[in-house]
Amino acid sequence: MDYVSIANLYKSFEGAEHSVPALQDINLKLSQGEFVCLLGPSGCGKSTLLNSIAGFITPTSGEIIVDGHPIKEPGPDRGVVFQEYAIFPWMTVARNIAFGLEIKGVSLKEIQERVDSLLDTFGLREFRDRFPKDLSGGMRQRVAIARLLAIDSPFMLMDEPFGALDALTRRTLQDELLRIWSKSGKTILFVTHSIEESLYLANRIIVMTYRPGTIKRNQIVTMPYPRDPAGREFNEMKRELGLMVMEEQERHTHDEIGSK
């Protein structure tokens, strides 16, 4: 049985004068343990699709089933990390990571053990009593991912989590995410507009068209990990995907010019 099954998904947003279709005819299946990237230019519905799976957005029609259950609302089986560091500014690093466990009623001993382990994993132990305002962007994002991992959701939904980071920090966190994924067997759906990032991370890439978002290409990536961005196969696939994404970006630009 497929872990995630999306059938005939359609979503439109109502405007003042007319509705705007964001997603159309989305049919997609994910197996448990896959790392799948949604790739495409801004405005192609990547985040709308992810938020629909998370349960934050209700589709206009169609259905989403995760682990045999229709999605109607958010749930602890799906953890989400956004580009904007969604951590509580009034809580310390350790309290932020512990928050979801406290809500679930986990014992104090288990919370402490899990938080200590994640602080070590993400190199945050010396910052455990700091507040988010005292951290760099990369550290705040580490806290956000650690908080997600603390509640141990089997399905991780990530919306451009490294988009605002510098190149070195981004690569460090990409490598850490791949290590955690390979060790845990979690299913990951990762939104990005970076072709290189999608090729570095995913074993499948879903290229989406400009609005309304549809699936343009379902690309299996068989390159072994760790992947070399300077390698021949990597760059051949990067060029091929780049042409597809650029075609959709040009449609976007053409529509914008035509509407003026």
Domains of the chain: 1-77+155-226 (3.40.50.300), 78-152 (no CATH)
Residue 178 scores a pLDDT above 90: yes
pLDDT, tens digit, 9 for 90 and up, residues 111-137: 999 999 999 988 899 999 999 999 988
User: What integer pLDDT is reported at residue 252 of this predicted model?
Assistant: 63
Residue 59 has pLDDT above 80, yes or no: yes
pLDDT tens string 66-101: 999 999 999 889 989 887 667 888 999 999 999 988
Query: Is 226 exposed, middle or buried, given 0-12, 13-18 or 19+ CB atoms closer than 10 A?
Result: exposed
pLDDT 10s digits, 21-36: 999 999 999 999 999 9
Query: What global pTM score does this model have?
Result: 0.90
CB distance 202 to 37 below 8 Å: yes
Q: What does the pLDDT average to over 99-113?
A: 89
Helices marked H in the chain: 46-54, 93-104, 108-121, 137-150, 167-184, 195-201, 232-258
